[in-house]
Structure 1
Amino acid sequence: MCPTIQKDIVNCFAEELVKSVIEEMGHDVFGLLVDESADVSDKEQMAVVFRFVDKRGMVKERFMSITHVSDTASSSLKAAIDSLFAKYGLSIKKVRGQGYDGASNMRVLEYIEIEGAEDLKRSQACGLLKTNGNLSMVLQRRDQDILNAMDLVNSTKRQLQKFRDDGWNSLMNRVSSFCEEHDIEKVDMEKDFVDSRRPRNKKTGVSNMHHYKVNCLFAVLDLQLQEFNDRFNEVNTELLICASSLSPIDSFTEFDHSKFMRLSKFYPDDFTHGEYISLEQELDIYIDNVRNDERFTHLKCLGELARMLVETRKNMSHPLVYRLLKLVLILHVATATVERCFSAMKIVKSHRRNRIGDQFLNDCLVCFIEKVVFLSITNETVMKRFQDMKTRRVVL
């Protein structure tokens, strides 16, 4: 019943759980997802999630730690990450991707949509939330791979461009129908636009048509399209184009020998010169093998391909191809897992338990969030760790 003993027991479970996750990773490469948020007591907390491919070819995202940081400066976050890696004997050289969440920016957008001082800014925030919000929800699957994500992004870009080019008239027709249905006075698009925050006798010099079409609609759409283009520059785009050669869809129709080799060049620390030569020789055998195996016929994504390669043990026959596949799979698509961790933090550290200590909070969250791994931890291993922590009056 002693609080100190209870905290020791929870800590033992948490440490055994993290140890199990590290063993699940197999000391292989992984992606790092990080975010920070204030808890109910206004202490800044940094959450860390690892994305990796396990020994069965499954893409996993595991919560590793939540750590109190003095501030949100990059140096403070880096120091906390270094401390975590040192504690568990992990090497930063194994990290092949980093993700830092932008969901907080969406909450900023929600505020601007309602409270924004400028009509243009409110319109932009509203448009960004409606368009990118739907895309964000689709991308939040833990096993979503980068190729499917890019297909969704490209589809969204095409729809935005199509709406910018041809969507104004259809939008006006829907607005007109809505006004008629609800007996609302229609805006005369040919009249001068009047800013409600300015004196009514002060003209703006633009028509309603220009204001709503150019200043509002086009401004929002151009902002979104520019943001997409900025996020996916030439280097990122080439990486993703090359990664498409891994796709198993339609019996590997996207396979391209030269793209495959260019993709491997993005990972100079993972392939020696000799392995580059071996990979080039391995590719023709690999593609012939999987195309003539019925078990690979109906695969739809990279995750399914990785699982099937392990299941059929072809990952042993084509180890370099499988290594490249894993490197692409650990590229993060979204950091929704980190946000879910903060949602769980509100359950563990509530207003009634707002004085819970940092270590105890971390241990409780690790056990609470990773329930599946937690259930696999045996009492015997926990008892041994508990006994070894320090000298006890009673031997368990």
Structure 2
Amino acid sequence: MIKLIASYNDEVARTVLENAPYNAKYTSHQIQKEILHILSNKVRKHICEEIGDSKFCIVVDEARDESKREQMALVLRFVDIHGFIQERFLDLVHVKDTTSLTLKQELCGILSRHGLDVSNIRGQGYDGASNMRGEWNGLQALFLKDCPYSYYIHCFAHRLQLALVAASREVIPVHKFFSKLTFIVNIICSSSKRHDELHAAKTDEIVHLLEIDELETGKGANQIGTLKRAGDTRWSSHFSSVCSLINMYGATLTVLQKIIVDGSTYSQRGDADSAYNTLTSFEFVLILHLMKDMMGITDILCQALQKQSQDIVNAVQLVHSTKTLIQNMRDDKWEELLKNVKSFCEQHDILIPDLTASYVARQGRSRHQKDHITVEHYFRVEIFLVTIDKQLQELNSRFNDQAMDLLSLSSTLMPKDAYKNFDIAKISTLVDSYYPEDFTEQEKINFPFQLQHFILDVRQHPEMKNLSTIHELCRCLAETKKSKVYYLIDRLIRLILTLPISTATTERSFSAMKIIKTRLRNKMEDDFLADSLVIYIEKEIAEKFSSDSIIEDFKSLKTQRMEGPPMTFVFHHGGKFKIDKSGYLCYEPDNTEVLMGVEADTLDVFFVKGYYKELGYAEMNNYLWKFPGTLLDNGLRRLENDADLLALVRDCKRNHHLINIYFKHVVSKPHVVDCMSEDGDDVLQLPTIPELAEKLNKDHNDAMSQPYCKTTKKSP
């Protein structure tokens, strides 16, 4: 690539390849990672500037990457100055375990590094795992102790998934239906030959229907699809699978009949015959259409909950409308469903049973058989009503937010129907009870009066009187500059919009992680992976930065790193971090080695991170340094790249050119390293920290100028 560019640009050709300075390493992996880190930091800085002093919400989820390392993704949800809801991917960090305390420490570390105050958190969005939603020791409970107004919202999309899965598993005929559906799809899609036969059969069917004027031609009409498999984690895929089978029903029957006759093995012919009998049963067709109608209602909710701009109040209303539509289906749609199923069976020559005949559960008479039950009663009560009732029961159980007054009070801010829902008393209660720290006492007094003026104003305003959602109201306030006039109402609306709806954005980041960290690139470092993800996911922000600005930052990074007098490094090794009896973090056992006279202009990350080999270790996990004047609990910083090394040098200057570096070992038990001299086998006694401090204070300048005598070490 460099040669190609040089061939077209003489100015580039004069400065690259053999004409480049001998110490130029800009094509090396380390330099490329540093440039990538600079760009990702600029993206993160831009996100933090977007948030500013505003309140925000954290959305967190965990997943394993290709190398089986547990990764935690952090997404920030906030409302920007233009009134738009934003969900920005901030970082991805490796966590040693998924306990709530570990996750909280990592999250607080990320927020602290980027200058975001934990006290500004006004919402938490997680899944329903016990380490997240635990009332006493869950992650949400730990954050509530530090910030009592960071309200936890269980991911709505996850709730819906749990409700749909539970409903399908509890009703035996429905559970059998999905098992048989998967079986049929696997038979048809197991080979490319059968897939081609399916397409050919569907093509013949479309041609025949066009000849008899059953179908209309047009652009994009009569597309040929295929059967879709239902996934375990995405319930919307079940709806797609059901719809694809209805669309390809006739072609599927044709392929199965061909396999029954021409199958190469008895198992293929037997499986195809079993699938054909299942597919042509009236009960299977009935449940197929029942699932299509019911899941079509819930799929609208599922898709809406994954939108970034969705607000909590509108989501609650969508849940309510979904319950209402399913209830209406239960009360009024049986006859219509039965009519559609009969028509479908007649179209495909499927035997329709006598619905007035007595229903027999199994061949012969079962001891559990109920007397005087007709076939129609079984289909209507045991399948139709039971399935819908179970679905409603699960939805009511999973989305029972009546106990959470915050959501019900927030609904009073909906602007639809000329602000009919605006209730001054309830909205004032929302401010006093749930956001008391975000309003002063005087603002709480002024709030009801400002609200009265607001209602009269917006009902007559041509751009604001026909709004329907809180999100639209927030945008309109920003566009019309009325957010400055009714600043208290605008502040409350932004707080409500900050509340999370789902963890869909974090799940999308994990999908991106699978694209970047693949099986062939499964040894990517965590920081390299995080930087790549930030730039990939937030590409719209990354595209705003020019190459010149990145070059200037890279130049500044290198220049600043080379400045400074000789330094002294104190390496702490052979121990592990633990909590002492007083509840403070400590490092035990603490073996130290002092390295004096380190010049800043010769210092690089490889030297510091590779020093564990000088100490006699074969492998090391993490490298940390302690911020001067702090405890280990909140003073440890990671050392991974040049940006971290620059921060280490700055901290070293603040601490009389001395810094403490800690090695975090891979092994569970600490190593004790014997330091051997080059001339003999005597153990070299390392100075303690008090002795070192006394020596430095006595003759600091002489100590700095002393050359470092390299020693060899035994391997532990």
Measure how far apart 1:246 and its partner are.
2.2
TM-score in terms of structure 1 length: 0.85
Greater displacement, 204-213 / 367-376:
204-213
CA distance in 2, matches of 1:372, 1:4: 25
2:161 maps to 1:135: no
Residues 337 and 356 of structure 1: CA distance in aligned 2, closer, same or farther (over 3 Å): same
Measure how far apart 1:134 and its partner are.
3.1
CA distance in 2, matches of 1:245, 1:342: 36
The equivalent of 2:30 in structure 1 is 4
The equivalent of 1:246 in structure 2 is 413
Picking from 61, 65, 77, the partner of 1:51 is: 77
Letter aligned with residue 299 of structure 2: G
Gaps in structure 1 of 5+ consecutive residues: none
CA distance in 1, matches of 2:169, 2:121: 40
Picking from 383, 402, 427, the partner of 1:234 is: 402
The equivalent of 1:270 in structure 2 is 438
The equivalent of 2:428 in structure 1 is 261
SS at match of 2:310: coil
Matching of residues 317-396 of structure 1 within 5 Å: 317-386=485-554, 387-388=556-557, 390-391=561-562
Check the 8 A contact 1:193/1:203 in 2, yes or no: no
Residues 104 and 259 of structure 1: CA distance in aligned 2, closer, same or farther (over 3 Å): closer
Measure how far apart 1:183 and its partner are.
1.5
The equivalent of 2:651 in structure 1 is none
Matching of residues 274-289 of structure 1 within 5 Å: 274-289=442-457
Check the 8 A contact 1:248/1:302 in 2, yes or no: yes
The equivalent of 1:19 in structure 2 is 45
SS at match of 2:434: coil
CA distance in 2, matches of 1:99, 1:211: 43
The equivalent of 1:60 in structure 2 is 86
Letter aligned with residue 116 of structure 2: L
Residues 381 and 328 of structure 1: CA distance in aligned 2, closer, same or farther (over 3 Å): same
Letter aligned with residue 149 of structure 1: A
CA distance in 2, matches of 1:77, 1:213: 49
Query: How big is the alpha-carbon RMSD for the aligned residues of Structure 1 and Structure 2?
Result: 3.3
Check the 8 A contact 1:33/1:50 in 2, yes or no: yes
CA distance in 2, matches of 1:98, 1:53: 15
Q: 1:109-129, CA deviations, whole angstroms, 9 ceiling, x for partnerless residues?
A: 999999999545456986586
Measure how far apart 1:2 and its partner are.
0.7
CA distance in 2, matches of 1:95, 1:193: 60
Picking from 154, 173, 178, the partner of 2:339 is: 173
CA distance in 1, matches of 2:163, 2:107: 29
Residues 55 and 112 of structure 1: CA distance in aligned 2, closer, same or farther (over 3 Å): closer
Letter aligned with residue 9 of structure 1: I
Picking from 377, 390, 393, the partner of 1:223 is: 390
Check the 8 A contact 2:415/2:470 in 1, yes or no: yes
TM-score in terms of structure 2 length: 0.49
Q: 1:141-160, CA deviations, whole angstroms, 9 ceiling, x for partnerless residues?
A: 21122333233222111111
Matching of residues 93-112 of structure 1 within 5 Å: 93-101=119-127
Greater displacement, 18-27 / 369-378:
369-378
Letter aligned with residue 205 of structure 1: Q
2:146 maps to 1:146: no
SS at match of 1:180: helix
CA distance in 2, matches of 1:63, 1:334: 14
Q: 1:70-109, CA deviations, whole angstroms, 9 ceiling, x for partnerless residues?
A: 3444444333322222322322222222222466788899
Letter aligned with residue 132 of structure 1: T
CA distance in 2, matches of 1:106, 1:150: 12
CA distance in 2, matches of 1:108, 1:38: 21
Percentage identity across paired residues of the two chains: 35
CA distance in 1, matches of 2:364, 2:522: 52
Check the 8 A contact 1:116/1:122 in 2, yes or no: no
The equivalent of 1:290 in structure 2 is 458
Letter aligned with residue 35 of structure 1: D
Measure how far apart 1:380 and its partner are.
4.8
Letter aligned with residue 251 of structure 1: A
Residues 132 and 335 of structure 1: CA distance in aligned 2, closer, same or farther (over 3 Å): farther
CA distance in 2, matches of 1:360, 1:182: 57
Residues 169 and 115 of structure 1: CA distance in aligned 2, closer, same or farther (over 3 Å): closer
Measure how far apart 1:346 and its partner are.
2.0
2:56 maps to 1:30: yes
CA distance in 1, matches of 2:104, 2:330: 42
Residues 284 and 32 of structure 1: CA distance in aligned 2, closer, same or farther (over 3 Å): same
Check the 8 A contact 2:163/2:395 in 1, yes or no: no
SS at match of 2:403: helix
Residues 107 and 302 of structure 1: CA distance in aligned 2, closer, same or farther (over 3 Å): closer
Letter aligned with residue 517 of structure 2: K
CA distance in 1, matches of 2:158, 2:413: 33
CA distance in 1, matches of 2:96, 2:539: 29
Measure how far apart 1:310 and its partner are.
2.0
Structure having the larger proportion of residues in helix: 1
CA distance in 2, matches of 1:309, 1:110: 38
Check the 8 A contact 2:85/2:497 in 1, yes or no: yes
SS at match of 2:81: coil
Picking from 113, 116, 129, the partner of 1:90 is: 116
Q: 1:299-341, CA deviations, whole angstroms, 9 ceiling, x for partnerless residues?
A: 3322222222222322122221111010111122233222221
Measure how far apart 1:353 and its partner are.
1.9
CA distance in 2, matches of 1:352, 1:305: 48
Residues 68 and 186 of structure 1: CA distance in aligned 2, closer, same or farther (over 3 Å): farther
Letter aligned with residue 538 of structure 2: E
SS at match of 1:298: coil
The equivalent of 1:184 in structure 2 is 350
Higher RCO (C-alpha under 8 Å, 6+ residues apart)? 1
The equivalent of 1:194 in structure 2 is 361
Measure how far apart 1:204 and its partner are.
3.9
